[in-house]
Amino acid sequence: MDSSSPTVRALKDIAFGSAAGIASKFLEHPFDLCKVRLQAQVLDQHARFSGPIDCLTQTWKNEGIRGLYRGLPAPIVGAMVENASLFLSYSELQHLIRRFNHLPASQDLSVPQLALAGAGAGGITSFLLTPIELVKCKMQVQMLVGSPLAPSPSTVAALASSTHPASAPPPAPAPLPSRAHLPGPLGVLTNVVRTTGVRGLWLGHTGTFIRETGGSGAWFATKEAVAAFLVARDPPSRAAPRRTKKELRPWESALAGACAGGMYNLAFFPADTVKSTLQTEGELRPGVERGKASFFGTFMEMWRKQGLRGLYAGCGITIARSIPSSAVIFLIYDGLSRRFG
């Protein structure tokens, strides 16, 4: 089969993207779990965690290594689907833009055109990703159901001094749920379909769509812009003609990917926060009656409660994990493309 045919090209994008996504998830999952748990507590009366370090520490103390990787099967599948779909759609949309503008296949697109292709790829991927994200988020907060709402020492001390006599010890925290009774990914998926129907699998899709469309546009555009800058640093000569972006050195792929990872989350992070809140509310606040369980209704409620700080809950640790994770993704994807492309 011709290695340049559309079918072979598509299969390579799927395979390389899947491999890169799987590798990145093992690195980033504990930090993603922390991000989801911080986002899910924005509407709580009392915060379960005082910050990212407190969240990671409590998770390790109460749940061990299994707790830090709770819900990993769903994002592993999600990483395969997400990255395969992203890179495949991104490649095909670039070809579509070239055909629309009557450009030769060898000509590089401009950064705005690459951003458009990336945004389109993110929008397509969001439809596949939302059910996987839903299962992942629900699993990541399973151990919080029935857990104390104010575990940090300072908050517990403040509440105890205001509601209990000095001589009386504070009430014992509610026991954590048993791991033996927690449903796995298929159990969570089945429960969602049974209680809300197939349509319920796309709860929070608006947030996923905004995050993936805007974030993927910024992700690919940043990576390509940094890659072009790095290539341009080497002036061409007779002995060494100018390199293309497909000839990046491994460290250059990693650096460009790291920059892209930071940009992916920064601007559109509030959409992800609202999405996580919607997807975990049934577990963490089942008795709360809310007027609007919609994206924009939840957004306004979170804005009124904690403002910009609440909408960016968990952003710091997310950017910290997305930088090395994105570096790994492009290091592997570009490396496989150079080797087998």
Q: How far apart are CA 191 and CA 193, in angstroms?
A: 5
CA-nearest of 147, 194, 191 to 172 is: 147
**Domains of the chain: which residue ranges?**
6-152+182-235+244-340
pLDDT (tens digit, 0 to 9) for every residue of the chain, 341 residues total? Answer: 455 677 888 888 889 888 888 888 888 888 888 988 898 888 887 788 888 889 889 989 988 888 888 777 777 887 888 889 999 999 999 999 999 999 998 888 999 999 999 999 999 999 999 998 999 888 888 777 654 444 444 444 444 444 444 444 544 444 555 555 677 888 889 999 998 899 999 999 999 999 999 999 999 999 999 999 998 887 766 666 677 777 889 999 999 999 999 999 887 899 999 999 999 888 777 665 544 568 998 999 999 999 999 999 989 888 988 999 999 999 999 999 888 86
Q: How far apart are CA 272 and CA 253, in angstroms?
A: 26
Q: pLDDT tens digits for 132-176?
A: 899 988 888 877 765 444 444 444 444 444 444 444 454 444 455
- Give the sign of the dihedral formed by CA 187, CA 197, CA 133, CA 76: positive
Q: Report the CATH number of the 6-152+182-235+244-340 domain.
A: 1.50.40.10
Tell me the pTM.
Answer: 0.78
Letter for the amino acid at 152? S
Q: pLDDT tens digits for 170-187?
A: 444 445 555 556 778 888
DSSP per residue, 12-29: HHHHHHHHHHHHHHHHHH
Letter for the amino acid at 197? G
